[in-house]
Chain A
Amino acid sequence: MAIYQQTVALPARSRSERIVRFITRTPLHIVLIAIALVWLVPTFGLAITSFRPNSDILSTGWWTGLTHWNWTLHNYGTVIHAQGMGRAWVNSLIITIPATLLPLTLGALAAFGFAWVAFPFRDTIFLLIVALMIIPIQTSLVPLLKLFRQWHLSTPHFGIGAFAFVGIWLAHTAFGLPLAIFLLRNFFITLPKDLIEAARMDGASNMEVFRRIVLPLSVPALASFGIFQFLWVWNDLLMALIFLSGEPTRQPMTVRIPYLLSTYGPEYHLLSAASFLLMFLPLVVFFALQRYFVQGLLAGSVKT
């Protein structure tokens, strides 16, 4: 493993030393660049494809599109209008926003309780929640579906279509809560104790402490859970597939895209454009808030 040995070397001084260093480090660069390409090319290829006319897609590989520019937005138009992906995109949003805000709010409140309010069996209940984090969704699908049908949580009420989403909002909330409580509680207990006790001495109620002190100090932790939950719900296929089945007009993009595939076969001019509509928003959120995402990831997995 000559690659490793060179890294300790002090900055090369003479020209010949620099050349030797460059040559011995070449395998390292080759490996890294190869890996980067394997991770980049698949997405890149589909991105190019989504801008190529169907006749080009069928006759030549996407890589020829790099040198023979003939790009169009036509695929996106077809997918959004004719294939109903515009509607599906809006559905994804309707599902995702409440299903992110609900567990965030409830989770923060509960986490505050576990961190700073004394009540009986607090630690035992918290341990139980840690344990619940890994129950597979699959064990809950059938009973929840039955429950939602009984309570009519997956059909519109009073002429308001949004009622049909109540079931999936609640389901996502329930599955997001354990992680929310776990992450946020672990963050809240690191807040300075003096600050909270001083506020209590001044007569602040628990709610006031929560609103005035804990929330403003916890923006990074709240943001990191928010991003997690947003990505999880937006990208979820299984729960939407089960809880919104039989309602094509209410299904999110993750469910409509496989449907597109099963109806038309591998029509890549449609599939590529639809996939990029699906990926666009999470990627924007992800890049804008990457710092919080990584922090949350490290707090949730490795204790920092």
Chain B
Amino acid sequence: MLGLFLVYPAYYTIRLSFYQSDYLFNFTHWVGIDNFKNLLTNDPDFLDLSHFPPSGALVNNLRWIIFYISLSLFFGLGLAVLAVRVRYERIVKSVTFVPMAISATAVGIIWLFVYSPDINQGVLNAILHAFGHNPIAWLGRDDTVNYALIFAYIWASTGFVMVVLSAAIKGIPTEILEAARADGASEWAIFWRIMVPMLSLPISIVTIWLFINVVKVFDIIYVMTGGGPGTTSRVIAFTMYYETFPNLRPGYGAAVAVIMLILVLPVMVVNVRRFRSERVVT
């Protein structure tokens, strides 16, 4: 069954990426690597290096990878470290964890509402207005749209990072922390010299999870902007969907899917390696 649903389709998609195809997904016309060549050199919506900063779906995805991963880790780790120090830890953790259960569709609507340029609807612009600033159409401007989307998705993922890292922090033996404190280490030094090294494994696992998540990001963009304004907020997964279905170029879309597969391949290797080595130990 797995062969039929996962392996065979991957083979089919790879083959399709070398063809021009029709809406029935037949292999109509062999085009060799033209799909890839077009994507990488001749499709400004996918990759445009002709001006600075470069643009296109691939560049946007890179932006997602950098900001989404680093900020999710920053908020998640920060919360995990700070929340253990207060009595209302459970409440703070629950509040940040709830978005894990919310569909990306609903997250999209929630943040669409927050970003609304109408000061009687969008809470963000209402705050700006209260400080005498003009409202900003966060999702309607080329320079803000990607960051607005990324933040909404970070909002949805931080809970996961926080829960995993918080469990790992509680697994650090308290004697180590107390010994360091007794030796006069500052809390800042304890964080960087003891906690971060001891958390390196869970941090790397969370990073991998975030990476896979961000390469596949689609729902929230589909709901909030549809790739717009224009094509400025497209990412790889969105281009794949757009080219294959509304635009009816499945061969071209397949080439995009293959690029996604190539991006996650190193992760696959890392995972298998890690699993192997773990089994040797046990």
* Contacts from A to B (Cβ < 8 Å): 1, 3-5, 7-8, 28-29, 31-32, 35-36, 38-43, 45-46, 49, 57-63, 106, 123, 127, 129-146, 170-171, 173-175, 177-178, 231, 234-238, 241-242, 245, 253-254, 257-258, 261-262, 266, 268, 271-272, 274-275, 278-279, 282-283, 285-286, 294, 297-298, 301-304
The answer to the question of B206 belonging to the interface, with a C-beta cut-off of 8 Å to chain A, is yes
Q: Say whether A139 contacts B9, CB under 8 Å.
A: yes
A283 smallest CB distance to B (angstroms): 5
Closest to A285 in B: B101
A-B pairs, 10 with minimum CB distance = A4-B187, A174-B5, A235-B103, A140-B9, A286-B101, A143-B9, A143-B12, A237-B219, A275-B106, A254-B105
List chain B residues, Cβ under 8 A from A130.
271-272, 275
Counting CB contacts under 8 A, is B35 at the interface? no
Contact of B13 among A143, A175, A236, A258 (CB under 8 A): A143
Q: Would A138 and B6 be within 8 Å (CB), given that A32-B92, A254-B105 are in contact? A: no
- How far apart sit A275 and B275, CA to CA, in the bound complex (Å)? 39
Q: Is B164's CB under 8 angstroms from A301's CB?
A: yes
Given A4-B186, A142-B253, A282-B101, A134–B271 Cβ distance below 8 Å? yes
**Residue in A62, A141, A278 whose CB lies within 8 Å of B103:** A278
Chain A residue at minimum C-beta to C-beta distance from B156 = A39
Q: Are A36 and B113 closer than 8 Å at their CB atoms?
A: no
8 examples of A-B residue contacts, CB within 8 angstroms: A7-B187, A45-B123, A46-B110, A59-B120, A139-B261, A237-B222, A266-B112, A272-B109
Distance in angstroms from A12 CB to nearest chain B CB is: 15
| B122 CB → nearest A CB, Å | 8
Size of the B side of the interface (Cβ < 8 Å), in residues, is 96
Known: A36-B95, A272-B109. A138 touches B216 (CB 8 A): yes
- Expressed in whole angstroms, the minimum distance between the Cβ of A257 and any Cβ of chain B is 5
B95, A40: Cβ atoms closer than 8 Å: yes
- Residues of B within 8 Å of A135, CB to CB, are 6, 10, 261, 264
B69-118 with Cβ < 8 A to chain A: 75, 79, 82-83, 85-86, 88, 91-92, 95-96, 98-106, 108-114, 116
Asked whether A45 lies within 8 Å of B9 as measured between CB atoms, the reply is: no
Distance to closest chain A CB from B268 (angstroms): 5
Q: Please judge, given known A-B contacts A275-B110, A282-B103, whether A136 and B264 are in contact too, CB under 8 Å.
A: yes
Main SS at interface, chain A = helix
Across the interface, which residues of B come within 8 angstroms of A39, CB to CB?
A: 95-96, 98-99, 155, 158
Q: Which residue of A lies closest to B24 (CB)?
A: A146
Query: Does B39 make an interface contact (CB < 8 A)?
Result: no
Q: B30 near A: Cβ within 8 Å?
A: no
B residues contacting A by CB (< 8 A) are 1-2, 4-10, 12-14, 16, 24-25, 75, 79, 82-83, 85-86, 88, 91-92, 95-96, 98-106, 108-114, 116, 119-121, 123, 126, 155, 158, 160, 163-164, 167-168, 181, 186-188, 190-191, 201-202, 205-206, 209, 212, 215-216, 218-219, 222-223, 226, 237, 240-241, 244-245, 250, 253-254, 256-258, 260-261, 264, 267-268, 271-272, 275-276, 278-279
CB <8 Å contact, B102 and A134: no
B101 x A144 contact (CB < 8 A) = no
- Is the pair A238, B241 in contact by a Cβ cutoff of 8 Å? yes
Query: B1 to nearest A CB, angstroms?
Result: 6
For A258, the closest partner residue in chain B by CB is B223
Once the chains are docked, how many angstroms separate the CA of A266 from the CA of B24?
34
Complex interface: chain B residues within 8 A of A137 (CB): 216
Q: What is the CA–CA distance of A140 and B268 in the complex, to the nearest angstrom?
A: 17
Contacting pair A5 B186 (CB below 8 A): yes
Question: Do B222 and A41 have beta carbons less than 8 Å apart?
Answer: no
With beta carbons under 8 angstroms apart, the residue of B112, B219, B257 that contacts A139 is B257
A266 to B106, CA, bound (A): 13
Q: Kindly list chain B residues whose C-beta atoms are within 8 Å of the C-beta of A1.
A: 186-188
- Within the assembled complex, what's the spacing in Å between the Cα atoms of A279 and B256? 32
Told that A1-B186, A139-B260, A254-B103 touch, could you supply 11 new A-B pairs with CB distance under 8 A?
Answer: A8-B181, A36-B95, A43-B110, A45-B114, A46-B110, A134-B264, A142-B16, A142-B257, A235-B102, A253-B105, A298-B163
Q: Is the CB of B86 within 8 A of A142?
A: no
Query: Could you say which residues of chain B place their CB within 8 Å of the CB of A42?
Result: 110-111, 113-114, 123, 155
Complex contacts, B114 vs chain A, CB 8 Å: 42, 45
